[in-house]
Amino acid sequence: MTAPGVTERLTGFVRALRAQGIPAGPSETVDAAAALEVLGFDDRELVREGLAAALVRRDGQRAVFDAAFDLYFPAGVGVPELAREDRPRDLEQLRDALGAALAEGDQQTLAQLAGLAVDMLGQYGAGSGPGGGFSAHQTLDRLQPQTLITRVLAAMRAGSGAETEEAFTDRLTRDEIRRRVEGFRGQVRTEARRRAAEVRGRERVAKHAIAPAADRVDFLIASRAQLAELRRTVQPLSRKLATRLAARRKRTTRGQIDLRRTLRRSLTTGGVPLRPAYRHRRPGRPEIVLLCDLSGSVAGFANFTMLLVQALRDQFSKIRVFAFVDSTDEVTHLVTTGTADPEHLGARILSEAAVVRWDGHSDYGGALGQFADRWLDAVGPRTSVLVLGDARTNGGDPNLDALRAVRDRARHVFWLNPERRALWSTGDSAALAYAELVEMHECRTVQQLSTLVTRLLPV
């Protein structure tokens, strides 16, 4: 049996994982305990991989797992001891040591320096009392590891003696160093979390300091890097949704008994209807119209949704995409042809389509009105309309009549709002007024979006 302390540590760890959206159940926990028993505790990396094998279920969960693992199974306690004699005393020495370690790519030293840096530069508040803590942001702000890149580059060039002949791969060196620095920043964040957990308790730190898995990142507060990461998930996500939609379509085609064909078939068995024939409905694929707000704050969300619909193209018989900021324009041709470079889709729409006329603030009333005036024939009885946006009209008239006109022609109209429900109709948001006309859903994360897409779209 495993020691009682270990059991508690493990269950706490599993609880933290669940809170971060990794649904590890009791059977997984049992597996994890069995793994620990087989592997022992001698090698931390083995423990990490063993637990991951038992608790992680898919690739996207690994980053969350690693962050939580570093909290619950820390490499050590307190300040890491540098094995070397010359422990850096001040910021300059620390930067020198860091530069040398980066040039060599020495992971172990880098990890120790990260710990040291957090200890020297990251402390804030009253020492390590209850009010204080350790901040990765502060550490990195004072240390400025990115300014070392040039220095490290020079050191590496000098070291390799590449001055005589410029080798092709030397061009890559700068990027390599940049990746190493990025890795070091990650180590600093890990260290700061670990030290903070020592002061303030693991559970609290786990709850706030671990970045959520990509599909749970809020669209509105996602950073550029996170949005890029999200875009990479579009393809796998669309495949997943497509199979789900196809499976549903398959199930629903099993319709009523077709009496005529059953009788005809029964002639071969002497009039006994052994095998009933079913009437198959011809699978009608839905038409879809997207109406997307592309103004600054919600552009990331609309952009992602457009990419998703584009990837799901063959699930619909017809797709038309309209974008607006303060003026509406059809962008279907941009969305359906621009497969080569999805990341610039938003920029292309803004530059090539007439979506901004005045000041670049979204004008829902005007945009809906224009849509109803010029493109109402895009909406028919087989069409599902998805409106994407936060319904913040910037004080303008929401133009409910236009939305009503669209609703009356369409089969369904759904509004996906990337703001949390509690914020609807606060400030300049007309969300609740629109929500009275059409179904409005909170859609803040990829997870919510994928559930909504499969649930809402008629098959």
Partner 1 sequence: MGTGFFSSVDDVSAKLAEAGYLASTAVATTVFLADRLGKPLLVEGPAGVGKTELAKAVAAVSGSRLVRLQCYEGIDEARALYEWNHAKQLLRITAGREETWEDARTDIFGEEFLLRRPLLTAISGTEPTVLLIDETDKADMEVEGLLLEVLGDFQVTVPELGTITATREPFVVLTSNATRELSEALRRRCLFLHIGFPDEELEREIVRLKVPGINAALADSVVRVIAALRAMDLRKLPSVAETIDWARTLLELGSGTLDEQVVRESLGVVLKHQDDIVKAGAGLKLDQVLDAS
Give residues in contact with partner 1 (CB under 8 A).
Answer: 25, 27-28, 31, 34-35, 38-39, 43, 45-46, 49-50, 52-54, 56-59, 62, 166-169, 171-172, 175-176, 179, 228, 236, 239-240, 243-244, 247, 340-341, 343
Residue closer to partner 1 (CB basis): 66 or 198: 66
User: Smallest distance, Å, CB 340 to partner 1?
Assistant: 5
Residue closer to partner 1 (CB basis): 241 or 386: 241
Residue closer to partner 1 (CB basis): 59 or 359: 59
Q: Closest Cα to residue 116, out of 72, 67, 81?
A: 81
User: Smallest distance, Å, CB 28 to partner 1?
Assistant: 7
User: Smallest distance, Å, CB 78 to partner 1?
Assistant: 26
User: Smallest distance, Å, CB 9 to partner 1?
Assistant: 19
Structure tokens at 284: 């009608």
- Amino acid 383 reads T
User: Smallest distance, Å, CB 391 to partner 1?
Assistant: 32
Structure tokens at 29: 């926990």
Residue closer to partner 1 (CB basis): 128 or 173: 173
Distance CA 286, CA 459 (A): 7
Residue closer to partner 1 (CB basis): 204 or 344: 344
Residue closer to partner 1 (CB basis): 66 or 330: 66
Coil vs helix vs strand at 211? coil
User: Smallest distance, Å, CB 444 to partner 1?
Assistant: 22
Contacts of 138 (CB under 8 A, 6+ apart): 121, 122, 124
Residue closer to partner 1 (CB basis): 343 or 373: 343
Residue closer to partner 1 (CB basis): 52 or 423: 52
DSSP for 113-136 reads HHHHHHHHH-EESSTTSTT-EE-H
Distance CA 359, CA 151 (A): 45
User: Smallest distance, Å, CB 329 to partner 1?
Assistant: 27
Structure tokens at 38: 């087989």
Measured on CA atoms in the order 335, 337, 343, 349, is the torsion positive or negative?
Answer: negative
User: Smallest distance, Å, CB 21 to partner 1?
Assistant: 14
Give the pairing of strands 254-257 and 278-280: antiparallel
Residue 342's H or E segment, with its range, is none
From residue 90, give the alpha-carbon distance in Å to each of 86, 93, 146, 147, 347.
12, 5, 18, 17, 46
What is the phi/psi pair of residue 240, to 5°? -60, -45
Q: Closest Cα to residue 36, out of 24, 12, 52?
A: 52
